[in-house]
């Protein structure tokens, strides 16, 4: 029998194969409480429970049947490639899961079983035994007959499971931090720009008290239109190169080899994706290049560039941009936007402070997102190398 590529020191024995029904009791019978917290297939994302709702035995969906006990593992049997599986560690005795999950009460280390179920090799075997195409699914009986590779030592099982579960907890923490920062940004974009009918924003930096001014968008942003071919010194930027909603590049565009034609920019402008504006494609480049595709290249006019970059992310700008023409390929209407009036600070220093605040916030979001991505990659690597 094979052994994993990475092992904890002191463990040398071969691993063995056993069928899942040998290492866990499947869907144990239980009596539902009169009132409980129901967990359906949308309630678990990744390894985290993001929601649940209160139900009664009389009104609950017929699929509410799996009464959870501390240590139970719930495996998503519908579209298992999503890997939305949950280790129930709560002391509560009133959580009931949908029959869309296979409930396993482990006889081996709980964390080890949970982690094994997330490995790509196991998920592939599950998919090979699924029925259906749009919604591939496996029933609990077929799942229970599949094999698990595991060490005989419960201590080794525990060490492996504990490491991966701790990694999952770190991933969850960074995901929450990212989500909180994104929510803060959304909130501050509303509070640091005046609401409709107001002359000042709800939140301001100290020292600024004057009313903001109302100006047409065409008076603060000029559309560039000069065509230019991309090159090593003037790399092309396309939608696919930008992280939507964040406004950063996802690759080094200077490494592109294909020459393309678009609208030239020199780093003093802001790029706004006019095609399907609800996709939130925007960029504030600090280099010269060529915007290829459906971009507006906006040159700030008597306004701070960083403030303009935040203005195009506000709810008001977004609402107007989405009053677009076309249904399948909607595009923002320049005539409509250019004639729309927006509130702008009377002092450019206030513009700069607002722009800098959101730049710092974006930087924090990016740092946590990168850490999150690194942790997910580490987990993926360990799942491949610590399991057979």
- Judge if 228 and 149 occupy the same domain: no
User: Each residue of 20-64: pLDDT tens digit?
Assistant: 999 999 999 999 999 999 999 999 999 999 999 999 999 999 999
Decide if 100 is inside a domain: yes
Residue 273, pLDDT above cutoff 90? yes
Alpha-carbon torsion, ordered 361, 275, 296, 273, to 10 deg: 20
Q: What is the reported pLDDT for 146?
A: 97
Mean pLDDT of the chain: 94
Question: Same domain for 137 and 241?
Answer: no
Residue 327's pLDDT is: 67
> For residue 223, what are the β-bridge partners?
298
**Which pLDDT score, from 0 to 100, does residue 325 have?**
62
In a domain, 177, yes or no: no
Residue 368 lies in a domain: no
> Considering the domain boundaries, does residue 134 fall inside one?
yes
Domain C-terminal end among 153, 180, 204: 153
Question: Smallest Cα–Cα separation from 172: which of 3, 47, 320, 303?
Answer: 47
CB 239 within 8 A of CB 281: yes
Kindly state whether residue 176 falls inside one of the protein's structural domains: no
Instruction: For residues 41 and 140, state if they share a domain.
Output: yes
Secondary structure of residue 251 in the 3-state scheme? coil
Over pLDDT 90: what percentage of the chain? 93
Residue 275 forms part of a structural domain: yes
How many alpha carbons fall within 13 Å on the CB side of residue 265? 29
Same domain assignment for residues 123 and 46: yes
386 falls within a domain: no
Average pLDDT over residues 208-216: 95
For residue 110, the enclosing domain spans 16-153
Instruction: Report the CATH number at residue 149.
Output: 3.90.220.20
Per-residue pLDDT tens for 158-201? 999 999 999 999 999 999 999 999 999 999 999 999 999 999 99
> CB under 8 Å to 86, separation ≥6 — which residues?
39, 44, 47, 48, 49, 73, 74, 97, 101
Structural domains of the chain, count: 2
Residues 33, 146, single domain; the answer is yes
Residue 171 CB-density burial (10 A; 0-12 exposed, 13-18 middle, 19+ buried):
buried
Task: Point out the domain boundary residue: 128, 153, 178.
Answer: 153
Three-class SS of residue 226?
A: coil
227 and 308 within one domain: yes
pLDDT reading at 328 higher than 80: no
Residue 351 included in any domain? no
What pLDDT score was predicted for residue 133?
A: 82
Per-residue pLDDT at 380: 92
Q: Which strands, in side-by-side order, build the sheet including 64-67?
A: 53-56, 35-39, 95-98, 64-67
């Amino acid at each position: 029998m094979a052994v994993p590529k990475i092992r904890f020191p002191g463990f040398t024995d071969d691993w063995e194969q056993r069928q899942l029904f040998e290492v866990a009791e499947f869907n144990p019978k239980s009596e539902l409480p009169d009132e409980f917290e129901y967990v359906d297939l949308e309630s678990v994302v990744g390894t985290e429970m993001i929601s649940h709702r209160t139900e009664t035995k009389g009104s609950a969906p017929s699929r509410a049947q799996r009464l959870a006990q501390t240590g139970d593992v719930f495996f998503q049997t519908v579209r298992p490639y999503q890997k939305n599986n949950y280790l129930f560690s709560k002391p509560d005795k009133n959580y009931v899961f949908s029959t869309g999950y296979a409930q396993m009460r482990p006889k081996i280390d709980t964390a080890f079983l949970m982690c094994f179920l997330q490995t790509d090799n196991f998920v592939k075997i599950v998919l090979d035994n699924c029925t259906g195409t749009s919604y591939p699914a496996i029933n609990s009986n077929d799942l229970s007959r599949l094999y698990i590779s595991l060490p005989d030592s419960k201590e080794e099982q525990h060490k492996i499971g504990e490491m991966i579960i701790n990694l999952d907890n770190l991933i969850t923490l960074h995901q929450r931090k990212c989500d909180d920062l994104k929510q803060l940004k959304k909130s501050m974009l509303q509070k640091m720009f005046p609401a409709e009918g107001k002359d000042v924003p709800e939140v301001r930096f100290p020292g600024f008290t004057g009313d903001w001014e109302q100006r047409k968008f065409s008076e603060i942003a000029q559309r560039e239109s000069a065509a230019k071919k991309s090159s090593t010194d003037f790399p092309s930027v396309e939608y696919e190169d930008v992280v939507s909603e964040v406004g950063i590049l996802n690759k080094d565009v200077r490494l592109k080899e294909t020459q393309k034609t678009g609208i030239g920019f020199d780093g003093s402008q802001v790029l706004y994706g006019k095609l399907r504006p609800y996709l939130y494609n925007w960029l504030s480049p600090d280099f010269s290049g060529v915007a290829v595709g459906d971009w507006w290249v906006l040159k700030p006019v008597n306004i701070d560039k960083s403030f303009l970059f935040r203005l195009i992310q506000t709810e008001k700008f977004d609402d107007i941009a989405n009053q677009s023409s076309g249904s399948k390929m909607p595009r923002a209407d320049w005539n409509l936007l250019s004639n729309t009036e927006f509130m702008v600070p009377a002092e450019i220093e206030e513009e700069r402070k607002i722009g800098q605040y959101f730049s710092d916030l974006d930087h924090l979001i990016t740092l946590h997102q990168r850490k999150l991505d690194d942790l997910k990659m580490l987990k993926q690597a360990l799942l491949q190398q610590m399991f057979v």
